[in-house]
Structure 1
Amino acid sequence: MNKMQAIIVNEMKVQPEIDVQQTIEAIKHFIKEYVSSHTFIHTLVLGISGGQDSTLVGKLTQLAVNELNASGDKQYKFIAVKLPYGVQKDADEVEQALKFIQPDQIVTVNIKPAVDQSVAALKDAGITLTDFQKGNEKARERMKVQFSIAANTSGIVLGTDHSAENVTGFFTKYGDGAADIAPIFGLNKRQGRQLLQHLAAPPRLYEKTPTADLEDDKPQLPDEEALGVTYNEIDDYLEGKTISEASAQKIEALYVKNAHKRELAYTRFTWPK
């Protein structure tokens, strides 16, 4: 392990091996402790995409809420949010994820009118977004909706960021990268699959090809194609294993390039001159 890999592994908190049940309990404990330590919280809000990460966070959150409601006088609610842009291509997998999670409440908000209006307003102002930039508009609109629901219901928004995503910066700044808490940080992609397998999730939800599916011109673009490196390589790297030099350099370059996504806004007192 080189010096850069050691720094990244330490920051990303991924363990080479995990006890699956112990990890599930630790994540639920974190969610319950955070919620119970903030008196304003009544709901927990999460967008469900039909992919591995939101399915995992959704299931663990609902389990945590069930335990909180069973053990105290205060009653909490998990709100799962469907956020299609028009007609979602994998809508059937969203429904399968919701059936597995069994959320307390489901809210559906079609983000297409808001995104299209935003893109049109920018164009009227002389700013024409690329298809990639429009994809970021979708991600930010989805998160804006979740925060609006949380504000309206005295809640918090959960994030699906995990360490294989965090290290590469494969998320939209102030879009899916924005949340109040990120329960599955410290896990890589394969460890998330292990948790879902243990929880008896439908295999289709964690065996499907991961995709952010934000670009109209490249529907269902696989994450690994966009990244230029596989999740298996990223997972191995985060577990401290040796991978090809080319892939290691790619991961490290993404880590450095996207460092700003992992940081809060600088002030004149915090900028590291």
Structure 2
Amino acid sequence: MLDDQTDIAHTLGVTPDFNAGQEAERRIGFLMDYLSASSMRAYVLGISGGVDSLAAAMLAQRAVERLRDNGHGAEFIAVRLPYGVQADEADAQKALAVINPDRIVTIDIKPAADAMLEEVRREAGDLFKDGRTDFHHGNIKARSRMIAQYALAGAVGGLVIGTDQAAEALMGFFTKFGDGAADILPLSGLNKRRVRAVASHLGAPQELVFKVPTADLESNAPLRPDEDAYGVTYDEIDDFLEGKTIAESSRNRIFAAYRASAHKRALPVAPQDWKAGEPKAR
């Protein structure tokens, strides 16, 4: 298991040097090349109103526009996936206005997510610990959103974009096979401040770029800031990934989160991959 700060940053693709303009162009080119090489014709991405989906969507929209300029059929489909009425819906709509996607599809995941939880609890309610039902419901919501995106992608011959970035990958702050599932990850290797820098470079408004990040999965704690769940700040996480010195207590918390979430960053384990006590990191 990697436990060196520099090795972890390298494993997660965080480079010592960073230029927002160059990274934006490199990632737009990556999206163009991959869609063209895959013989697919669309990108699909869920838009939450946060900076990660905003940055990824702006990259994707520019990529498909350039492909069309070069004579290739391509489109970007932005998907709103609210659970009923989203608390920060206004921010999601602002993000869509900035992105100006080729198409917007809205799918309410509430009926499907609630039905799944109800059916699981009907058959195995005794397995759910007191006070944890809302947490598990949140994971069902995240996976329901990905089911919807893959349904759309399958219908149009498209690929699903994920918003995984290095800060969340480090902390394991994503739902396995939920928002952690995707075909392509244009933000991989960027910590949070670098995602914000890319979004700013692309012209995103500052109120969205610096909006307080939240997963907004738990109904009992709507819009709970990510940093509350982490116990450390994004600045500390970003500093860690950039090789800077942070408080020992924060450093230890980050190491603990990274080790505990190793299974989330790994492909499904097979006998030839297994070494006792060490899930194979992706």
Q: 1:95 aligns with which of 93, 96, 107?
A: 93
Q: Given the alignment of the two structures, is residue 169 of structure 1 paired with residue 172 of structure 2, yes or no?
A: yes
1:4 aligns with 2:23: no
Which amino acid in structure 2 is aligned with residue 163 of structure 1? A
Report how far residue 3 of structure 1 moved: 5.9
Residue type of the alignment partner of 1:138: K
Question: What secondary structure sits across from 1:125 in the alignment?
Answer: helix
Structure 2: gaps (5+ residues)? 277-282
2:238 alignment partner, SS class: helix
Give the letter for the 2:37 counterpart: S
Distance 1:242 1:16 in 2: 14
Alignment of 1:75-224 (within 5 A): 75-127=73-125, 128=128, 130-224=133-227
Following superposition, the deviation at residue 18 of structure 1 comes to 1.1
Q: Structure 1 residue 20: deviation in Å?
A: 1.2
SS in 2 for 1:215: coil
How far residue 270 of structure 1 moved from its aligned partner, in angstroms, is 2.0
Distance 2:122 2:9 in 1: 46
Whole-angstrom CA distance in 1 between matches of 2:85 and 2:42: 27
Computed over aligned residues only, the root mean square deviation of the Cα atoms, in angstroms, reads: 1.3
Query: Contact 2:176 / 2:264 at 8 angstroms: preserved in 1?
Result: yes
Deviations 1:96-154 (A, max 9, x none): 00010010000000000000100110111023461111100000000110011101111
Letter in 1 for 2:9: V
> Is 1:254 aligned with 2:257?
yes
May I ask how many residue pairs the two structures share in their alignment? 270
Alignment correspondent of 1:18: 18
Greater than 4 Å deviation, 4+ residue runs = none
Q: CA deviation at 1:16?
A: 3.7
What TM-score does the superposition give when structure 1 sets the normalisation length? 0.96
What code does the residue aligned with 1:107 have? Answer: V
Q: Which range moves more in the overlay, 121-130 or 91-100? A: 121-130
**Percent identity over paired residues:** 47
Question: What does the per-residue CA deviation read over 1:207-258, in whole Å, with 9 as the maximum and x for residues that have no partner?
Answer: 1110000001111100000111100000000000010111111111111000
State the Cα deviation string for residues 81-101 of structure 1 (Å, max 9, x = none): 000000011111111000100
Distance 1:98 1:14 in 2: 28
